[in-house]
Amino acid sequence: MFEFDIFREEVLADYTKKRNQGALPTSLENPSPANLRNYASNKYRQGLNKEDRTVFEEYFNSNAKADDLEKAIRTTDLGRLKSVQNFLNGTTKIPDEIIVKLVAALIDFSPRPFVEWRNSFQNLQHDESKAPVDLEMPQMYNNVERNQLFQTTESAKPKKKTRLNKILAISAASLSFAAVGYMTSSQLKPDGCMYWDGAQYVKIDCKEEIKHAEKLILDPIDLIHFKKITQTDTLQEEHVNKVWYSKINNEVEFFTSAGRHPLHKERTLKPATWYMIKKYKGSNPTK
């Protein structure tokens, strides 16, 4: 299924990104079958929404052999969870759809479930005629980055792309970066560092001294995709669940990608609802 292929790539890229950022619990950083079963059991006890519970029922208790879902999770054969592990470590490229949906629930991928993600994806296509691409996500990419992502091999001149092509290009780039994440720590060789300049991450040499900013190991995904949206007054209802926000000390900031706040690492960004966008867009203009 074409749309599900993109969904699968985005879920996998999100897992890799969160793992590289240290944003996952140990059980998911080391997704052995036993760790996956224990984490699923703990997540169930913490409470599942209706959609995630449906996914858990389909994967862990599809034949309704257990009296309740919690028991079904606890007694699941570890051999079955090997397929989930293989998907996360890259051994299996095209797993069953239920495995992808289960991983999305385990890592809190957003938007989910798949039907919600698909609606969002299709809306991106239908909205093409409403506004120019360059105006829909202010300061998400600069001109150099846009050309690198969307320039065709047939021509050196940048061409306008539909929002569908934009999604496909980003997904392909994310999948490429995800492949790097599957390398062991001994194989992974950082090719630089970066720091947050207040609006985006800037690549630097790791030997370079940076004052008044934290120097970080280069994350190619964040370097390209993670920006602060400074022109928040241009945000519209179509950006619901496509941008993320933080609210710290009554100050709301919007960002172009999921993850942790660049300065307050203990705070995880949340998908922006229409309520948050309407209430706070334009409230913190760039000085």
- Tens digits of residue pLDDT in 91-132: 887 889 999 999 999 999 998 988 888 888 777 655 544 544
Helices 114-126 and 163-181, packing angle to 10 deg? 140
From the DSSP assignment, how many helices (H) and strands (E) are in the chain? 13, 6
Average pLDDT, integer, range 36-41: 93
Higher pLDDT: 183 or 234? It is: 234
At 228, which amino acid appears? K
Strands (DSSP E) contained in the chain are: 193-196, 201-204, 216-217, 244-248, 251-255, 270-271
Going by pLDDT thresholds of 50, 70 and 90, the confidence category of residue 193 is very high
Please name every residue paired with 271 in a beta bridge, in sequence order, or none if there are none.
Answer: 244
Q: Whole-angstrom Cα distance, residue 119 to residue 242?
A: 12
Question: What global pTM score does this model have?
Answer: 0.48
Q: Whole-angstrom Cα distance, residue 11 to residue 16?
A: 9
**How many percent of the chain have pLDDT more than 90?**
29
Q: How far is CA 254 from CA 24, 200, 233, 283, in A?
A: 22, 12, 11, 11
Average pLDDT, integer, range 60-83: 85
- What is the Cα gyration radius of the chain? 20
Phi, psi of 228 (to 5 degrees): -85, 135
At 7, which amino acid appears? F
Q: What is the pLDDT of residue 2?
A: 67
Residue 146 has pLDDT above 50, yes or no: no
Give 3's contacts (C-beta < 8 A, 6+ positions apart): 118, 121
Q: What is the pLDDT of residue 238?
A: 87
Please name every residue paired with 248 in a beta bridge, in sequence order, or none if there are none.
Answer: 251
Q: Whole-angstrom Cα distance, residue 75 to residue 171?
A: 36
Residue 137 has pLDDT above 90, yes or no: no
